[in-house]
A and B are shown apart, each in its own frame.
Chain A
């Protein structure tokens, strides 16, 4: 009797697990069938689950929006675009699997992604070997376009482009802002990931060059939730501000714990903490962040995007990178207008797309979209944001010389 109950329970658990798994499975849209319309897919590789999903979902929705608009206006005659979104869980291994899956789909012609520079480092080689163009809305690590040796830049992957500026611009911009605000002593903390470390290195170099002093350089573990030991150590060094290289899931609690421990100075970070969740998780008034581009809400070109996004009724906000995701998708679509015009199928048009995208230039939601010889964005506009009344408010927009 007892044995049987176990078995029944086991079957029930198994069944429910399968049901849950089934619910997660995507139904692949059938290709062909439609009257002479060929299908090309634009992939998206971003975190759709986990701590950074707010940013990831904003990008996915924005790409979805760009694709729907392109289909509605019949931007590429004879072709229908589809979205193929994959979750990378902000983890390189998961991202690599997602990239492999997209690369093996013959209909995929371009990919928007990734959010994390560390994920891009494994995703780009996979897409590169399949000649699929990749446009990142958010990777800010300089080495992705200029190679490991920045003094002697060499482009590692011809298929890789990005619409955002890099840490090489973002860190120094933050340093100039703090020095301009009369802050001469900072402590730096980063999370040991490529994004955080790169940001802090670029920041520290510029801050020291500008006459500032880095009084403490610490790191945290991205999995930790207790930062009190680090904070006590930093506090003893007496900084006027803390510069944090990392993302909001740690930065929010870090700021909260800093203030609770009596270290009442501003925490400044890069675009990785520029998200409403930073404030929800403990970011406090006076905290600062730099983000790429001018504030989306103030640009005329962005207003159309914001309105269309709202009208589309997505469940999640566009977050820090929605507008970049939108521009990245549109840059691919612009290239497809050339490369798909006479192509027989999506796969054969892949390398033509990589060539075509280098020449793309248009006014996007974030300003001028175009790429230099390394695949970097031509625009170098950044904005400093400050937490005021529980919201990020634009403090200063400028261009790094």
Chain B
């Protein structure tokens, strides 16, 4: 029983990470019907943005818990969000907007291109800085970290490595942070979508972009804000990833993005609550499959298999996803 709760906690905290990223897929898909495969990279850039903020702050270490939690962590999160939003908005502007009228495959391929581009950008940006011209170009800035392989993520006192034990079940503080961040973001998203003008404009645009435009909604701005909201949440996921695993690297976005996309589809792509539910279900399914499937198909080697079996089952019996509305294919 203890093991069950332990795996439930493991699954929920992993799922919360998927959910935070999945929201970005779903929001963008809901509005422009684009599967933004570069979104995993936005998550990675969020983590590197937070890391760069910490580096620029002079690598503060061993701050007391209060200042670390109230100053360092928020600053790192803001740094990550700024980087992620800037890149996401630029991506939309240069890689997707010019293709808005094009057949659907064109922006999809563009997204894959952006994904590769962003990975290499981070690798080069942190490895050697290509933005400073010099005779011995590219130059290596002393102290600037090399991101060719995994980079240790700064530890934040009060979160990194701290655990809470409840009767044999170990809960790590970074997991609490991830789940808390997901809860706050879900409330924020609900408020944003239902109570703000921009949020309602987003809903209107997703239902019918042409009519929305006729009603005086600036569709371009709505699309940009959808990318920005997704990027902000992905950046928080990036920070959570860094805190949980202590390492970030330039390829971490690919698999996380794939899993989060799966979560979005599982929950019903286009539906924000669906992304959250889908993420949590996928995370729990992976954790449970590691332990509770008996026999040779039950080891951790098979966890992804079971997660995708679940996805296929859901899609067979509920093609719109767990919470997805019936998809109306717009003409």
Interface residues, chain A, with chain B CB atoms under 8 Å away: 6, 9-10, 13, 17, 20, 23, 49-54, 192, 217-221, 223-226, 228-230, 232-233, 236, 249, 252-253, 256-257, 260-262, 277, 280-282, 315
Complex alpha-carbon distance, A166 and B320, angstroms: 52
Q: Which of A218, A226, A253, A262 has the most CB of B within 10 A?
A: A226
Are B10 and A229 within 8 A (Cβ)? yes
Cβ proximity bits B3-33 to A, threshold 8 Å, 1 near / 0 not: 1001100110110010000000000000000
Q: Which of A23, A233, A282 has the most CB of B within 10 A?
A: A233
Are A256 and B300 within 8 A (Cβ)? no
Complex alpha-carbon distance, A52 and B148, angstroms: 9
Known: A219-B301, A262-B170. A232 touches B150 (CB 8 A): no
Complex alpha-carbon distance, A20 and B172, angstroms: 42
Contact of A223 among B150, B152, B255 (CB under 8 A): B255
Are A23 and B138 within 8 A (Cβ)? yes
Known: A13-B94, A281-B152. A252 touches B247 (CB 8 A): yes
Closest A residue by C-beta to B300 = A230
Q: Which residues of B contact A260 (CB under 8 A)?
A: 161, 163, 172
What are 12 inter-chain pairs, A to B, with CB distance below 8 A? Answer: A10-B94, A17-B117, A20-B120, A228-B13, A229-B7, A229-B14, A229-B300, A236-B291, A249-B249, A256-B245, A261-B170, A262-B170
Cβ proximity bits B161-196 to A, threshold 8 Å, 1 near / 0 not: 101010000101000000000000000000000000
CB proximity to A under 8 Å, residues B219-258: 241, 244-247, 249, 251-252, 254-256
Complex alpha-carbon distance, A87 and B138, angstroms: 19
Known: A229-B11, A229-B290, A230-B290. A218 touches B299 (CB 8 A): yes
Are A51 and B249 within 8 A (Cβ)? yes
Are A232 and B165 within 8 A (Cβ)? no
Are B7 and A253 within 8 A (Cβ)? no
Q: Which residues of B contact A261 (CB under 8 A)?
A: 163, 170, 172
Complex alpha-carbon distance, A13 and B118, angstroms: 12
Q: Which residues of B contact A230 (CB under 8 A)?
A: 290, 300
A358 to chain B, nearest CB (A): 36
Closest B residue by C-beta to A221 = B304
Complex alpha-carbon distance, A277 and B149, angstroms: 10
Q: Which of B6, B252, B286, B299 has the most CB of A within 10 A?
A: B6
Task: Determine whether B124 belongs to the interface, using a CB cutoff of 8 Å to chain A.
Answer: yes
Q: Which residues of B contact A17 (CB under 8 A)?
A: 117
Known: A50-B149, A54-B149. A262 touches B291 (CB 8 A): no
Q: Which residues of A contact B249 (CB under 8 A)?
A: 51, 249
Complex alpha-carbon distance, A236 and B170, angstroms: 12
Are B255 and A281 within 8 A (Cβ)? no
Are B287 and A228 within 8 A (Cβ)? yes
The 5 closest A-B pairs by CB, nearest first: A229-B290, A228-B10, A229-B287, A219-B301, A230-B300
Contact of B300 among A9, A220, A277, A280 (CB under 8 A): A220
Q: Which residues of A contact B143 (CB under 8 A)?
A: none
Known: A229-B287, A229-B290, A229-B291. A257 touches B245 (CB 8 A): yes
Known: A9-B94, A23-B137, A229-B10. A249 touches B149 (CB 8 A): yes
Are B246 and A253 within 8 A (Cβ)? yes
A132 to chain B, nearest CB (A): 28
Given contacts A232-B291, A256-B246, A282-B246, 18 further A-B contacts (CB under 8 A): A6-B94, A20-B130, A49-B123, A54-B149, A219-B299, A220-B300, A225-B256, A226-B17, A226-B244, A228-B13, A228-B287, A229-B290, A229-B300, A233-B290, A261-B163, A261-B170, A281-B246, A282-B247
Contact of A53 among B130, B149, B245 (CB under 8 A): B149
Interface range on chain B: under 10, 10 to 19, 20 to 34, or 35 or more?
Answer: 35 or more
Are A232 and B152 within 8 A (Cβ)? no
Task: Determine whether B101 belongs to the interface, using a CB cutoff of 8 Å to chain A.
Answer: no
Q: Which residues of A contact B39 (CB under 8 A)?
A: none
Contact of B6 among A20, A232, A252, A315 (CB under 8 A): A232
B130 to chain A, nearest CB (A): 7
Q: Which residues of A contact B241 (CB under 8 A)?
A: 225
Complex alpha-carbon distance, A229 and B7, angstroms: 6
Are B98 and A6 within 8 A (Cβ)? yes
CB proximity to A under 8 Å, residues B85-138: 94, 98, 117, 120, 123-124, 130, 137-138
Are B255 and A224 within 8 A (Cβ)? yes
Closest B residue by C-beta to A236 = B3
Q: Which residues of B contact A228 (CB under 8 A)?
A: 10, 13-14, 287
A226 to chain B, nearest CB (A): 5
Closest B residue by C-beta to A52 = B149
Complex alpha-carbon distance, A167 and B46, angstroms: 40
Complex alpha-carbon distance, A252 and B246, angstroms: 10
Q: Which residues of A contact B13 (CB under 8 A)?
A: 228
A250 to chain B, nearest CB (A): 10
Are B300 and A219 within 8 A (Cβ)? yes
A342 to chain B, nearest CB (A): 42
B225 to chain A, nearest CB (A): 20
Complex alpha-carbon distance, A233 and B244, angstroms: 19
Q: Which residues of B contact A52 (CB under 8 A)?
A: 149
Complex alpha-carbon distance, A262 and B244, angstroms: 15
Closest B residue by C-beta to A190 = B301
B164 to chain A, nearest CB (A): 11
Known: A229-B290, A229-B291, A232-B291. A217 touches B149 (CB 8 A): no
A267 to chain B, nearest CB (A): 15
Contact of A253 among B123, B163, B247, B251 (CB under 8 A): B247
Q: Which residues of B contact A236 (CB under 8 A)?
A: 3, 291
Are B150 and A281 within 8 A (Cβ)? yes
Complex alpha-carbon distance, A252 and B244, angstroms: 13
Closest B residue by C-beta to A225 = B245
Q: Which residues of A contact B152 (CB under 8 A)?
A: 280-282
Q: Which residues of A contact B140 (CB under 8 A)?
A: 315
Closest B residue by C-beta to A217 = B299
Closest B residue by C-beta to A316 = B146
Complex alpha-carbon distance, A260 and B161, angstroms: 6
CB proximity to A under 8 Å, residues B241-286: 241, 244-247, 249, 251-252, 254-256, 286
Are B165 and A262 within 8 A (Cβ)? yes
Are B10 and A51 within 8 A (Cβ)? no
Complex alpha-carbon distance, A315 and B127, angstroms: 13
Contact of A233 among B17, B254, B286, B300 (CB under 8 A): B300
Closest A residue by C-beta to B250 = A50
Contact of B124 among A20, A223, A281 (CB under 8 A): A20
Complex alpha-carbon distance, A51 and B247, angstroms: 12
Are A218 and B300 within 8 A (Cβ)? yes
Closest B residue by C-beta to A192 = B301
Complex alpha-carbon distance, A9 and B96, angstroms: 13
